[in-house]
């Protein structure tokens, strides 16, 4: 008993208490008292921050580095229609944008377009019978016209673009697309309705 009392010095008692506090969870108390910004990237163990440890809505767009989210990091079906803001995807964002028509119209025999069947194409001017000239808000790379089905198979449209090898035939300079409707039965131009699609 005397030997035990000799060893129970103040230093021994305090060190023993310290050991019990550490083993008993006093480290949790110490963690709550960490100085602000004292834990940095270097102090975090690899894979220490898991999905469960990230608060909902904690990672916002402003916290994501440009180009950080690539195709390989997106789960299949992760990007749905309701997650895309209106107007964020345009023709330039689509790899096949050149395959998508930019404008279309149903054109009456007098050059007026049908509003319910038209987008991006204004009324045509008609310098001569059967010739329709269109001034567009963009530079077309291709156009195609189809005669409206009216029971006659003799109405054939032909399309010309400004700046191409054939160029314009009857339309004035500044015209983007020229359509000629031809009656093959009478071998002459004719005024007929047609569909026009422009790329």
pLDDT one-digit tens code per residue, 60-100: 888 888 888 887 888 787 788 787 888 777 766 666 666 78
User: For residue 102, how far is the Cα from the chain centroid?
Assistant: 16
Question: Is-above-0.85 flag for pTM?
Answer: no
The 10s digit of each residue's pLDDT in 16-63 is 666 665 655 545 555 567 777 777 778 788 888 888 888 888 888 888
* Distance of alpha carbon 116 from alpha carbon 105, whole angstroms: 9
**Residues near 144 by beta carbon (within 8 Å), at least 6 away in sequence:** 159, 196, 197
Q: Identify the three-state secondary structure at position 147.
A: strand
Q: Exposed, middle or buried by CB within 10 Å (0-12, 13-18, 19+), for 75?
A: exposed
**Whether the Cβ atoms of residue 178 and residue 130 lie closer than 8 Å to each other:** no
């Amino acid at each position: 008993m005397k030997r035990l009392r000799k060893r129970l010095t103040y230093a021994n008692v305090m060190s023993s208490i310290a050991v019990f506090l550490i083993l008993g969870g006093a480290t949790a108390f110490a963690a709550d008292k960490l100085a602000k910004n004292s834990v940095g990237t270097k102090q975090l163990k690899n894979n220490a921050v898991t999905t469960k440890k990230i608060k909902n809505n904690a990672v916002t767009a402003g916290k994501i580095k440009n180009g950080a989210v690539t195709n390989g990091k997106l789960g299949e079906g992760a990007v749905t229609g309701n997650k895309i803001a209106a107007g964020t995807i345009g023709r330039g964002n689509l790899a096949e944008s050149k395959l998508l028509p930019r404008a279309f119209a149903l054109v009456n025999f007098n050059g007026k377009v049908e509003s319910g069947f038209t987008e991006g194409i204004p009324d045509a001017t008609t310098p001569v019978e059967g010739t329709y000239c269109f001034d567009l808000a963009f530079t077309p790379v291709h156009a195609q016209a189809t005669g409206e089905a009216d029971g006659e198979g003799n109405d054939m449209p032909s399309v010309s673009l400004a700046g191409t090898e054939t160029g314009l035939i009857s339309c004035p300079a500044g015209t983007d697309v020229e359509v000629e409707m031809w009656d093959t039965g009478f071998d002459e131009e004719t005024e007929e309705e047609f569909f026009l699609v422009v790329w």
